[in-house]
């Protein structure tokens, strides 16, 4: 356990940031799973509408530093390829 006041505050901050980061990562994974499920089910139009939500979540996670900018673009690129392959 931290002893000094500053160390206690740093612990609180890191715990709060961890929750936020995990929320973003879980949201990304959940939407990815939904997109894959829709594409495998042949519901391409519904998957396309879900892509805007997916891009928004990934961009927000990248902006806040949860994931890097390059990882965000890689994730978006791979998901859009998956959508285009299913044509």
Q: Which residue has the higher pLDDT, 1 or 75?
A: 75
Query: Structure tokens of 16?
Result: 């709060």
Instruction: Please give the domain boundaries of the chain with CATH numbers for all domains.
Output: 5-85 (1.20.58.110)
Query: Structure tokens of 80?
Result: 């859009």
Express each pLDDT in 30-62 by its tens digit: 999 999 999 889 888 888 899 999 999 999 999
In this structure, are residues 61 and 17 in contact, taking their beta carbons and an 8 Å threshold?
A: no
Query: Structure tokens of 53?
Result: 């939500």
| pTM reported for the whole predicted model | 0.82
In sequence order, what DSSP letters do the residues of 5-66 get, joined into one string?
Answer: HHHHHHHHHHHHHHHHHHHHHHHHHHHHHHHHHHHHTT-HHHHHHHHHHHHHHHHHHHHHTS
């Amino acid at each position: 356990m931290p002893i000094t006041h500053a160390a206690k505050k740093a612990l609180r901050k890191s715990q709060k940031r961890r929750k936020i980061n995990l929320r973003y990562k879980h949201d990304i994974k959940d939407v990815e799973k939904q997109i894959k499920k829709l594409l495998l089910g042949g519901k391409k139009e519904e998957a396309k509408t879900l892509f805007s939500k997916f891009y928004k979540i990934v961009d927000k996670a990248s902006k806040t530093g949860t994931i890097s900018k390059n990882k965000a673009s890689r994730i978006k690129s791979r998901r859009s390829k998956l959508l285009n392959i299913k044509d």
